[in-house]
Structure 1
Amino acid sequence: MLKAIHPKLPMRDKAKTRDFYLNRLGFEELGNQDYEGYLMVKKEEIEIHFFEFKELNPKENYGQVYIRTDNIKEFYQSLLGKNIAIHPNGHLTTKPWGQIEFALLDPDNNLLTFGQGVV
């Protein structure tokens, strides 16, 4: 019955959020129309939606998404190659719960954690 999930995260500035996800992380924009105060992006099977929250204090933002991948080391290296800042406490690490993970923050401090099961 349940097939997919598309998290909705807050954004202060649509242009900055669009630029980060499209030009830095390689997502593409969804839809054939620009919705005021709303943004939808997709990369492969991952879709994330954003709603405008101009008064958001990034230091008080606890938006988080956990994204599974099947080639985490290659993806991690590709982000490093683009000089994308990895979270200071989120470098590529094998976790005790059987995942290899890393994390980064978007322009509004939404935490994106990427993980792959240890084989």
Structure 2
Amino acid sequence: MLSIEQAKQMAKSLRTSLQARNLEVTHAIALELVARQLGYKDWNTASARLPVQSAAPAISFDRPIPILRMFDEAKAREFYLDFLGFSVEFEHRFEAGLPLYLGISRSGLQLHLSEHHGDASPGSTVFVPMDNIELLHDELMAKRYGYGRPQIVQQGWGRVLEVHDPFGNRIRFCQD
């Protein structure tokens, strides 16, 4: 809902716009026009019903991006890109020879992989709600990855397909 201050700003903007077209209106007339645009009978009615201040902005969060620790770039690429089918979004190193920070994604799931000490603990678990877990299972099994053949397991909360990366991290794909 608009506040009185926002309505006044609308009136000021309207007046400026009309002046640019050589149409002079008083501020009071601009306020009356804005009140009508907002569905009120007149400015007095609008100013009595509009809040004095707009509501404070609500806190909102975007989707989190888990950071997983890695120790070997080649093994990370083999597992996450070749086996799991992620794509690279970005790569960052402060300079050549320093640890890699890698952003990857697949079908809306974003992960960050880091060689930086302190960014994440090895042995972390990421829980990923998803649809079509059978398709993912079939895709992974067809790749015949030498270090894992994950199976779908029925749990009380859904069907789970858990994969283990070369660094002790687990990703639990789950379908209700």
The residue number in structure 2 matching 1:40 is 103
Which of 59, 80, 84 is 1:25 aligned to?
A: 84
Tell me which residue corresponds to 1:107.
166
Shift of 1:110: 0.7
Whole-Å Cα distance in 2 between the matches of residues 46 and 76 of structure 1? Answer: 16
- Structure with bigger strand share is 1
Match of 2:19 in 1: none
Partner of residue 154, structure 2: 94
Secondary structure of the structure 2 residue equivalent to 1:107: coil
Contact 1:11 1:52 in 2 (8 A): yes
Deviation at 1:19?
Answer: 2.5
Q: Are 1:71 and 2:132 counterparts?
A: yes
Higher relative contact order (CA 8 A, sep 6+): 1
**Which ranges in structure 2 are unaligned for 5 or more consecutive residues?**
1-59, 94-99
Regions of 4+ moved over 4 Å: none
Amino acid at match of 2:163: L
TM-score by length of 1: 0.80
SS of the residue 1:30 aligns to: strand
The structural deviation recorded for 1:86 is 3.4
- Give the CA RMSD over aligned residues: 1.8
Q: AA paired with 1:52?
A: E
Identity of aligned residues (%): 27
Work out whether residues 14 and 38 of structure 1, in 8 Å CA contact, stay in contact via their aligned partners in 2. Answer: no
Greater share of helix: 2
Establish whether residue 11 from structure 1 lines up as the match of residue 70 from structure 2.
Answer: yes
Q: Which runs of 5+ in 1 are unaligned?
A: 55-59
Please say if residues 92 and 102 of structure 1, whose CA atoms lie closer than 8 Å, have aligned partners that are also in contact: yes
Paired with 2:168 and 2:112, the residues of 1 have a C-alpha distance of 15
